Amino acid sequence: MGVKVAVVGGGSTYTPELVEGFVTRGDRLTVDELALLDIDAERLAIVGGLAERMLRRAGWSGRLVLTGDRDRALEGAGFVLVQLRIGGQAARFSDETIPPRYGCIGQETTGPGGFAKALRTVPVVLELAEETARRGAPDAWFVDFTNPTGLVTQALLDEGHRALGLCNVAIGFQRRFAAHFGVGPERVQLEHVGLNHLTWERKVHVDGVDRLPELLEGSMDLVSDEVDLPAELIRAVGAIPSYYLHYYYRTAQVLHEQRNGKKTRAEEVMEIEAGLLELYKDPLLDTKPALLEERGGAFYSDAAAALVASLHAGTGDVQVVNLRNDGAIPGLPDDAVVEIPAVIDRDGAHPLPVAPLEPDMLALVEHAKGYEILAARAAVTGDRRIALRALMSNPLVGDFDVARPLLEALLGANRGYLPRFFAGDAPAPYAG
């Protein structure tokens, strides 16, 4: 029996990745209806047109719906995937450019920029989850790919929603290690541990044998270039950090680069997206263009479609997701949302226990998790005192005299998207 899948932010340039993932998993997941929801009708028509051509090329016989009507999209959906961006790339540009003026890293998922994005995003995603619970199919799954994924998932689970968070960092590492060792991705299993965008690869099993020591001692070009960290640092840590750890491990260097004219990622993505949308308009294009990999969503299709397929079919395979800790990482609360491998079946994701984190890793994870909990609370309540505490507790801020004026700058720049902080303001719409 088939299912309905709704994609919130269906006009995103990521969508062809997702369509490709569903097409290649038709043996485990029969999608009867795919609903793409977006408030930007022109963009949705362009992306939806390519999605239609891709699906028909694959021989798909289901129904594709392009809509700006939230209720229509969510009605009867068994899976709701969220990949929206509140405020679009313009808001991301503010996230990346305001913090450096106050001596802080400017980035859209970590530091003050990630905090601003969380304030804009959490209330909208919670509203979507509540509407899914009302309108979706019984026991519908709500899957969040919207950053900051771990923080958003924490808010969703704290509110009791049937939700999981998803990121493409782990699957990206898996694919790159598989290529390095010349094996299929299914033969590579990672011990990927931490919080979303704050993780380490502590084991790289290839056919059951841990090849991490070999990588650390001999193949550091593959690793250090990927994560933008020196080999000496990675060997000292004894694990492969995700790219996002370089914001914590080399804060001064990154801030120097940001303050000295380095193009922001928002500007780069704007250019890439403009090029992608022009490609998508081509009526002869019916496959995912190679340029999409530069967008930052490489392997997203595999991660998202594999998760939905396994939840639907109950295959019991292991995937990396954001979910409650439930004792998997010793020393962290059970209700803390972490990013680790889990067994996926029809009942959901079941975290696999891992060895304790090293003291430096645990300290950073605990610090960041405390910030995430406060930031989620601030987003829901619109309480400026909680927001100030959250920003002060962010590992990339940590100073009251910085946090206070920075908070006012971030709130002011995002006023149109933060009605809970500015009573009486009409909320701005979300963007894909």
Could you list the active site residues? 244
Query: Hey, is 301 helix, strand or coil?
Result: helix
C-alpha 187 chain-centroid distance: 24
Amino acid letter, 417: Y
Q: How far apart are CA 381 and CA 21, in angstroms?
A: 37
Query: Hey, is 336 helix, strand or coil?
Result: coil
Q: How far apart are CA 403 and CA 314, in angstroms?
A: 46
E strand spans, 96-244: 141-144, 163-165, 188-195, 198-206, 209-210, 240-241
Instruction: Give the pair of three-digit tokens for residue 138.
Output: 């019984």
95-103: long-range pairs with CB below 8 Å, 24+: 95/266, 96/258, 96/264, 96/265, 96/266, 97/264, 98/406, 98/409, 98/410, 98/413, 99/406, 100/255, 100/258, 100/259, 101/409, 102/402, 102/405, 102/406, 102/409, 103/255, 103/402
Q: How many Cβ atoms sit within 10 Å of the Cβ of residue 351? A: 18
Stretch (H or E) spanning 312: helix 300-313
